[in-house]
Structure 1
Amino acid sequence: MTLRLDAIALRHRNGAQALHHVDLNIAPGERVAIIGPSGAGKSSLLNLFATAFAPSAGQLDVLGQRPWQLSSRQRQRLRARIGLIHQAPPLPPRQRVVTAVLAGQLGQWGLGKSLLNLLHPVDIAGAQAVLARLDLADKLFDHCQQLSGGQLQRVGIARVLYQAPELLLADEPVSAMDPRLAEHTLSLLCEHAVQHGVTLVASLHTVDLALAFFPRIIGLRDGRVLFDLPTAEVDPRQLDALYANEHLTPTAASQSHPTPGLPRC
């Protein structure tokens, strides 16, 4: 299993209980969407997968290893095999886009190559190629502060694609994009996962995107898994229960149709 969670709980340092007794198994190469209302624990779960947090209780296995039984150096090597796309990528405003993308390989490079990359990009062609897939090749030497929110999200995605991880995690990766661009970007992520045998787990607020692009849906609410089903088995009643008492209840999403003409995976 790529990910195995056995009775996992997570309590943050401020005392907030983010996850309660979560059991999950995600196999290599699966593409899974996590949906649920704000505050459901989606980001906490992804950060747990990324080994940014240690569980408060239960057993976590990531890529066949138990992260919190490893030494710091071993855990760092494990993290180099995991890519996390942030909703708001932590990109320094004055950093050039090419440098931001190439930083995806810092976990694999030695200190000398990493320092050299800060002075002169060591793989301009590689950075440009991955940016071209996201329609950003013309932004190669721009500074991050010159980009829009959606462009910054795509630079963050490019950095993780350049990293080439075995486990690809995406936390609301298209929240700042218009609908057409969001569909194109999710299609690209799914195609990358299929082509390279990568496990892809994404949290999404937009239910119709989750249903359109992912074969498996996990519904999370109040830190608990309400359902874990193949997409074809998710029905409006389950979505109603998942988003009960929310101001925006996306039950209609289960009957919506994605924009035609874009590839699915």
Structure 2
Amino acid sequence: MTLHLTQVSLTHANGVRALHNVDLHIGAGEQVAIIGPSGAGKSSLLNLLATALRPGSGAVEVLGEHAWQLSARQRQRLRARIGLVHQAPPLPPRQRVITAVLAGKLGQWGFAKSLLNLVHPLDVPGARAALARLDLGDKLFAQCQQLSGGQLQRVGIARVLYQAPEVLLADEPVSAMDPVLAGHTLSTLCRHAKEHRVTLVASLHAVDLALSHFSRIIGLRDGQVFFDLPASDVDHNLLDGLYANEQLQSPPVPVAPLSVQIPRC
């Protein structure tokens, strides 16, 4: 089992309970979408899986390791095997795109090599190839401040693709993109996961994208798993319950396109 959470709870420093008694089991090579209303705990769950947050109780097992029973150095090595795509990638405005992408390997390179890379990019072809998969090959030497929000999100994804992790976690990775580009980007992530047998877990606000691209859907509500089902079993009633009491109407179950059916992960 690649990702294994047992009775995990998490309360943030401000007293807000993010997760409560979560059990979650995701096998190697699975592709899973997490959906749910704002504040449901989706980002907290992904950060727990990335070992960026420590649970208040329960056990977190990632890639066969009990993350919080490891030493700090061992946990750092584990993190190098995990890729996390942020909704708003932490990219310095004046940093060049190529440097941002190559930073995906910093957890695997030594200090001297990482420092040299800041002065002289060490793998131009590798960075260009990762960006080209997301239609950003022409932005290789641009500064991050010259890019749109959607382009910055794709740079963040390219960095994780270049990292080549065994577990790829994505927190609202396409929220700044138009629907067509979002669909294309998720297809790229899913294809990469299949080709390299990477375990992919993505939180998504757009339910239609989750159901179109992922075969397993986890609904999270009030910090607990509301349902964990194949996408084909997620219907209007489940979505109404998941998004109950939201000010906006719950997202509809999408109708398959008339001409093209997007393959699921």
TM-score by length of 2: 0.97
Aligned to 1:170, the other structure's residue is in SS state: strand
Q: CA deviation at 1:210?
A: 0.3
Superposed, 1:167-182 pairs within 5 Å as 167-182=167-182
Partner of 1:12: 12
Q: 1:30-77 deviations in whole A, cap 9, x for unaligned?
A: 000000000000000000000000110111101100111000000000
Aligned to 1:122, the other structure's residue is in SS state: coil
Q: Is the 8 A contact 2:168 2:201 kept in 1?
A: yes
Taking a change above 3 Å as real, the CA distance of residues 260 and 113 of structure 1, as seen in their structure-2 partners, is: farther
Taking a change above 3 Å as real, the CA distance of residues 31 and 138 of structure 1, as seen in their structure-2 partners, is: same
Q: How many residue pairs were aligned?
A: 264
Q: CA deviation at 1:262?
A: 7.1
Partner of 1:55: 55
Partner of 1:199: 199
Q: CA deviation at 1:247?
A: 2.2
Taking a change above 3 Å as real, the CA distance of residues 238 and 155 of structure 1, as seen in their structure-2 partners, is: same
Partner of 1:216: 216
Distance in 1 separating the partners of 2:16 and 2:201: 24
Partner of 1:256: 255
Supply the AA of the counterpart residue of 2:76: Q
Distance in 2 separating the partners of 1:5 and 1:125: 38
Distance in 1 separating the partners of 2:102 and 2:193: 20
Identical pairs, percent: 71
Partner of 1:108: 108
Superposed, 1:56-205 pairs within 5 Å as 56-205=56-205
Aligned to 2:126, the other structure's residue is in SS state: helix
Taking a change above 3 Å as real, the CA distance of residues 260 and 109 of structure 1, as seen in their structure-2 partners, is: farther
Supply the AA of the counterpart residue of 1:238: L
Supply the AA of the counterpart residue of 1:61: E
Q: Is the 8 A contact 2:206 2:251 kept in 1?
A: no
Distance in 2 separating the partners of 1:12 and 1:105: 30
Aligned to 1:94, the other structure's residue is in SS state: coil
Distance in 1 separating the partners of 2:235 and 2:181: 26
Taking a change above 3 Å as real, the CA distance of residues 263 and 244 of structure 1, as seen in their structure-2 partners, is: closer
Q: Is the 8 A contact 2:22 2:225 kept in 1?
A: yes
Supply the AA of the counterpart residue of 2:7: A
Taking a change above 3 Å as real, the CA distance of residues 111 and 255 of structure 1, as seen in their structure-2 partners, is: closer
Q: CA deviation at 1:248?
A: 2.3
Taking a change above 3 Å as real, the CA distance of residues 54 and 83 of structure 1, as seen in their structure-2 partners, is: same
Q: CA deviation at 1:245?
A: 1.3
Q: CA deviation at 1:256?
A: 2.6
Distance in 2 separating the partners of 1:33 and 1:111: 35
Aligned to 2:202, the other structure's residue is in SS state: strand
Structure 1 unmatched ranges of 5 or more = none
Distance in 1 separating the partners of 2:157 and 2:250: 26
Q: CA deviation at 1:249?
A: 2.7
Supply the AA of the counterpart residue of 1:105: K
Q: Is the 8 A contact 2:212 2:262 kept in 1?
A: no
Structure 2 unmatched ranges of 5 or more = none
Q: Is the 8 A contact 1:99 1:121 kept in 2?
A: yes
Q: Is the 8 A contact 1:208 1:258 kept in 2?
A: no
Aligned to 1:83, the other structure's residue is in SS state: strand
Partner of 1:43: 43
- Bigger drift between 164-173 and 255-264 goes to 255-264
TM-score by length of 1: 0.97
Q: 1:219-243 deviations in whole A, cap 9, x for unaligned?
A: 0011011100011111110000000
Partner of 1:234: 234
Q: CA deviation at 1:255?
A: 3.6
